[in-house]
Amino acid sequence: MKASSSLPPAAVPNSSCFRLVATKTKSKGSQAQSPLTQNVTAIQGGTATLTCKVDQNDNTSLQWSNPAQQTLYFDDKKALRDNRIELVRSSWHELSINISDVTLSDEGQYTCSLFTMPVKTAKAFLIVLGVPQTPVISGFKGPVNEGDLVDLTCTTVGSKPAANIRWFKGDKEIQDVPSIKEPDSKGKTFTVRSTLGLQVDRNDDGVAVSCSVDHESLRSSPQVAKQVLDIQYVPSVKIDFSRNFAREGDELRLECRATGNPTPEAVKWKKDGAELPDPDRMVVEGNVLIISALNKTDNGTYYCEAANTMGHNSAEYILFVYDPSALAGQSGPDHAVIGGVVAVVVFITLCLVIVLGRYLARHKGTYLTNEAKGAEDAPDADTAIINAEGSQANAEDKKEYFI
């Protein structure tokens, strides 16, 4: 049995007197090794485990003390009345305890003592990480108009060490946004703020801007706050049409697509700047203009107009009605292009043939002329060419005299 087991429970105090009594029960010739400990990092609200080990021990007691030098456990005897502190393991070779629901005030240097003569100790530093609170985004007072400058501020408190803030616009991170880190009154935790400036446009309407708090206490689950942008802008207008070629007798559908914030009012259709001329054949259903039984009198420019409190905008469509018989006789623009390319290729080929033919003909004529000059007295063609060359050389020496 351990030496401390012979002591009455009342002798498990939180005082130095008790340690002296325990020491007297040990042999002065103890060969026990020094205790071994490790520093511990715990998250605020979590559990910290302090472990003290001795490889060789001749029944010598172990003790854990807190930074205030209060005894927590002496062997398997609990000395401090704190329900958060529990025994994990007690033997001659190990004393391990748990501190649950740790707070920032639990941080500090803990001591494991081995009661030999003299007493041997080892230190373990407990680091407590302060968990940052969920961030809050402030500064947006929407809706705002297109082109305005918006300042968004993300704030988180309670981090230790100071947390980092990252900004995202949609899925894309915004780089190099500065942060301010301020310690609290006790200097244990930090308040971190970061302000993002954005000049918004219509593409930002409905986009979520978020700030993410990164901290080692959060591990793989950062805390995030989001702000959806509400941007007001003048309507954008576009006309979609049902056919590329409008022929006489066909039906044509023109759809007006208008987007804006606030949502545009009902669209209006006009032709050549005036009201639609034929309401019997030109029918408006919602934002769609339907023209039935097209004829050449429908030719002209059609306008779709949309408006909201920010302003108005319009789009136009130029209608030209074709004669069906004229369209049937056309071979199409693709055939014309292909025909033109073929004609150019044929012309270039003919030019190359003519130039090559003239070159070959000129070269052959020179050969025949040289052969003829020496052919009179030569037995073969080679001798004739040599004689021709010789005769040309001699011809240079001949001179004519006129008397």
| CA dist., res. 240 & res. 155, Å (int) | 47
For residue 22, what is the enclosing H or E element? helix 16-24
Torsion of CA 194, 195, 196, 200, to 10 degrees: 150
Residue 345: CB atoms within 10 A of its CB come to 10
386 vs 103, higher pLDDT: 103
Nearest-5° Cα angle at 340, 337 to 341: 90
- Tell me the pLDDT tens digit for each residue of 273-301: 999 998 899 999 999 999 999 999 999 99
Residues 6+ apart with CB under 8 A from 204: 169, 198, 229, 231
The answer to whether residue 74 scores a pLDDT higher than 60 is yes
Distances in Å between the alpha carbon of 223 and those of 109, 164, 207, 214? 31, 11, 19, 7
Please report, to the nearest 10 degrees, the dihedral formed by the alpha carbons of residues 108, 114, 119, 121 taken in order: -30
Q: Is 6 left (phi over 0), alpha (psi -120 to 50) or beta?
A: alpha
Task: Please name the amino acid found at residue 235.
Answer: P
Report pTM: 0.66
Contact 74, 63 (CB under 8 A): yes
Give 375's pLDDT tier (boundaries 50, 70, 90).
Answer: low
Q: Tens of pLDDT along 303-343?
A: 999 999 999 999 999 999 998 876 555 544 555 567 677 87
For the stretch 65-101, what's the b/e string if a residue is b when 16 or more beta carbons lie within 10 angstroms of its beta carbon? bbeeeebbbbbbbebeeeeebebeebebebbbbebee
pLDDT in tens, 16-55: 333 323 333 333 444 558 899 999 999 999 999 999 999 8
Q: Which of 193-202, 327-336, 350-359 has the highest mean pLDDT?
A: 193-202
> Is residue 257 over pLDDT 60?
yes
User: 7: which DSSP letter?
Assistant: S
Residue 255 has pLDDT above 90, yes or no: yes
pLDDT reading at 356 higher than 50:
yes
Report CA-CA distances (Å) from 152 to 141, 146, 165, 352. Answer: 10, 16, 13, 72
Alpha carbon distance 168, 211 (integer Å): 6
How far is Cα 71 from Cα 6, in angstroms, rounded to an integer?
19
